[in-house]
Amino acid sequence: MKIIHSQLQKLLPGLKTSPQQTANDLTLLGHFCAGLEKKQKEEIIDLEIRQNRADCLGYYGLAKELSVLHRLPLSLPQYPQQKFKTNPVPITVTSPNGVQRLLACTLNQIKNSPSPPWLAKLLTLHDINPINCLVDLTNYIMIYWGLPCHAFDQGKIPSGLVWEDSTRSQSFTTLDGTVLNLDPNTLQIKSDSNIVSLTFIGGKNSKVDLDSTDILIEMAVYDPTRVRHDSRQYKTITEASVRLDKFLDPNLIPLAFSHLISLIETHCQGQISSDLFDFYPKPTQTLPITFHPEKVNLFAGISIPKQFSLTTLKSLDCQIKKEKNYSVTPPTFRPDLNIEEDLIEEVIRFWGYQHIPTNKPISSRKFKDITPPLVYFIEHIQKILISLGYDEVRSWPLISEKQAPKNKKGLVYTENNINNHFPILRHSLLPSLENQVYQYQRFKVHPVQIFEIGKVYYQNKKGFQEKYQLGLYQPNLSILDKNLRELFKSLKIKPSCPSLNISPPISPYWEIDLEKLIKFAPAKLTKTPAFPNPPQTKSYELKKQIITLDANLILKEKKSQEKLLKIYTRKIGERYLWSLSITDIYHDPQTKKYKYSFRASYFNLSSAQAKKIHLKSFNLV
């Protein structure tokens, strides 16, 4: 939701804070400022409005918030009382569950024109294209009050309008010309047999243009779930749908609708030609909530004066009655206030979370340790494996059909996974490790010895199951065998134990069920953490293949290998050097010189760049 600071000041003439300060104030009230920019000499604040605060999807709601914060009065638009005629509005509503409230009337003798500059500029700053004065006024009212409304050219809807749930498939062309194929049970607005609008987007066949003289305007609040369902189903998100798919206040409609009529009368010379149609089968009401001001302190953990609580709630338009306790009835534009905790939150919100001390953490008193033994056990395995030189990887838990076992027994399929090539939750860690090794080979990372501790998934008679496995990859089988022995020795588990039944590895990939293994682990490894101080790690994001180049250096005398490596590491620079090693030293008895063979690997460089650095560093140019 974008707001122009100067427009906000029109509703709150006493607001003297800078745009930056207003943005901060709104953020600290819970409306996160995602950006502040200057356009056409106006300061625009971009706010993220939360799902439960639809009342703040317009200037009115946000001004109300600031008026409570700064205890400033609101200045609402003034206009003369509107006089409606006796002619009925030709509207029928056959979907009483879909429509919560609908106000409508007709106006004639309209003189439509392009919008005045102030209106066109305002809408442009809100990223809404100006169309013509009538349409733009409906959009203006939407961003002012947060309530969408729509104008129909009456000449294009001769038999009036019907709000109904569709019973058959039909196509509908939106204002921007997009054709939607509507399914049955879509809430729609029809004239004769034509669909002229949906709840959240108007139709091309009834649109208002510069020639329109007689119009029907309406403002409605619907069942938000219906609007969300319909707009998502037809993948059409509009400024109207963003508002209508939330809980809007039907009781605010008369105020906003009168404002719209007065603006049309002023800017398009329109005259009311009908009665006011008001469909409101179940008027919205809010229930009183018992409020204990002392609970505010309990929840906040600090002392907030009772008077502040009561004044804040009163400023929010809550009705307060003093009974045994306080009985607080929230206004209908705040459907998010339902229980006492909601009222407490309001008080703390306006007091300011920033006034709660930050240096008093929860007491470090220990309760019963409810850590599952497997959590400790996994930490100990991680510690042993890194001490054995293994690097940890984490991979996708989803695999392709090709990687799944042929019999497909017990596999868990996802219904709507984003990547159709990987629809199955892995039954084993080995396919994931294979993918990882393949990736490392692509990037020419070697030598590789890796492990992963992760979940595998399957289903059986008991339903969906998941368990932790350990997977290892080491290309040299004798090293793998030795490492496994070391692992079991450190875990104090005998791999020869018949119930474990571990045989020497026959493949570079090896895995074991940790839930099975833990049964043989000593208590120390399942009851204490392994890392009082977690180790540091330094990892790199590879974007290109590693380039490996050799260099020979002839030296007059023998030198320390460590020193040489240090010198050339510094010369090449850590930024692109992946690894450096001395692969050979040859002493020529004839020349009495020493030949040192170096192998340098470079990362995130093209081969030409790597070669350039290599030649320069080893003075080979």
List Cβ neighbours of 38 (8 Å cut-off, separation of 6 or more): 44
Q: Are 440 and 446 in contact (CB under 8 A)?
A: yes
- How near is the Cβ of 483 to other proteins at its closest, in Å? 6
Sign of CA dihedral 15, 20, 24, 27: positive
User: Cβ closer to other proteins: 479 or 551?
Assistant: 479
User: What is d(CA 539, CA 481) in angstroms, rounded to the nearest whole number?
Assistant: 27
C-alpha torsion 489→494→499→503, nearest 10 = 80
Return the range that interacts with other proteins (CB under 8 A); candidates 44-52, 106-114, 497-505, 517-525.
44-52
Task: Pick the binder of other proteins from 173, 262, 329, 435 (CB under 8 A).
Answer: 435
Q: Which of residues 501-530 bind other proteins (CB under 8 A)?
A: 529
Q: Which of residues 451-470 bind other proteins (CB under 8 A)?
A: 451, 455, 457, 464, 466
Residue in 158, 165, 227 with CA at minimum distance from that of residue 191: 158
Return the range that interacts with other proteins (CB under 8 A); candidates 87-95, 185-193, 447-455, 492-500.
447-455
Residue 195 Ramachandran class (φ > 0 left, ψ -120 to 50 alpha, else beta)? beta
User: Cβ closer to other proteins: 211 or 515?
Assistant: 515
Q: Give the interface size with other proteins as a residue count (CB under 8 A).
A: 123
* Interaction of residue 533 with other proteins, rule CB under 8 A: yes
Cis status of the peptide bond prior to 117, with omega within 30 of 0: no
* Interaction of residue 344 with other proteins, rule CB under 8 A: yes
User: Cβ closer to other proteins: 232 or 409?
Assistant: 232
* Interaction of residue 371 with other proteins, rule CB under 8 A: yes
User: What is d(CA 131, CA 541) in angstroms, rounded to the nearest whole number?
Assistant: 49
User: Cβ closer to other proteins: 412 or 551?
Assistant: 412
- How near is the Cβ of 226 to other proteins at its closest, in Å? 10
Return the range that interacts with other proteins (CB under 8 A); candidates 50-58, 74-82, 105-113, 272-280.
50-58
Task: Pick the binder of other proteins from 538, 590, 619, 621 (CB under 8 A).
Answer: 538
CA 65 to chain centre: 24
What are the angstrom distances between the C-alpha of 354 and each of 349, 351, 573?
9, 9, 46
Task: Pick the binder of other proteins from 21, 155, 506, 531 (CB under 8 A).
Answer: 531
User: Cβ closer to other proteins: 144 or 488?
Assistant: 488
DSSP state of 7: H
Task: Pick the binder of other proteins from 73, 117, 158, 357 (CB under 8 A).
Answer: 357
Task: Pick the binder of other proteins from 179, 367, 406, 557 (CB under 8 A).
Answer: 367
H or E stretch covering 9: helix 5-11
Return the range that interacts with other proteins (CB under 8 A); candidates 4-12, 77-85, 149-157, 392-400.
392-400
User: What is d(CA 469, CA 517) in angstroms, rounded to the nearest whole number?
Assistant: 10
Q: Look at residue 442 and give its three-state secondary structure.
A: helix
Task: Pick the binder of other proteins from 77, 584, 591, 615 (CB under 8 A).
Answer: 584
H or E stretch covering 560: none
Q: Which of residues 475-494 bind other proteins (CB under 8 A)?
A: 476, 478-479, 482-483, 486, 490
- What ranges in 234-372 are assigned the alpha helix state H? 239-244, 253-268, 294-300, 306-315, 340-351
What are the angstrom distances between the C-alpha of 255 and each of 244, 250, 274?
17, 10, 18
* Interaction of residue 52 with other proteins, rule CB under 8 A: yes
Q: Cβ atoms within 10 A of the Cβ of 374, count?
A: 16
Structure-token pair, residue 246: 């939330």
- How near is the Cβ of 267 to other proteins at its closest, in Å? 37
- Residue whose structure tokens are 């019907």: 162
- How near is the Cβ of 134 to other proteins at its closest, in Å? 33
* Interaction of residue 363 with other proteins, rule CB under 8 A: yes
* Interaction of residue 232 with other proteins, rule CB under 8 A: yes
- Residue whose structure tokens are 């208590």: 523
Task: Pick the binder of other proteins from 93, 276, 320, 374 (CB under 8 A).
Answer: 374
Return the range that interacts with other proteins (CB under 8 A); candidates 101-109, 306-314, 498-506, 531-539.
531-539
H or E stretch covering 327: strand 326-329
Convert 528-559 to b/e letters by CB count within 10 Å (16 or more is b).
eeeeeeeeeeeeeebeebbbebebebeeeeee
Structure-token pair, residue 319: 């009705």
* Interaction of residue 418 with other proteins, rule CB under 8 A: yes
Structure-token pair, residue 18: 């800078």
User: Cβ closer to other proteins: 536 or 590?
Assistant: 536
Q: Are 144 and 55 in contact (CB under 8 A)?
A: no
Task: Pick the binder of other proteins from 16, 38, 39, 50 (CB under 8 A).
Answer: 50
User: Cβ closer to other proteins: 111 or 558?
Assistant: 558
User: What is d(CA 89, CA 216) in angstroms, rounded to the nearest whole number?
Assistant: 8
Q: Which of residues 5-34 bind other proteins (CB under 8 A)?
A: 27-30, 32-34
Return the range that interacts with other proteins (CB under 8 A); candidates 158-166, 253-261, 413-421, 547-555.
413-421
Q: Which of residues 588-617 bind other proteins (CB under 8 A)?
A: none
Q: Which of residues 271-300 bind other proteins (CB under 8 A)?
A: 298-300
* Interaction of residue 35 with other proteins, rule CB under 8 A: yes
User: Cβ closer to other proteins: 403 or 490?
Assistant: 490
User: What is d(CA 415, CA 429) in angstroms, rounded to the nearest whole number?
Assistant: 21
Q: Which of residues 196-225 bind other proteins (CB under 8 A)?
A: 224-225
User: Cβ closer to other proteins: 41 or 360?
Assistant: 360
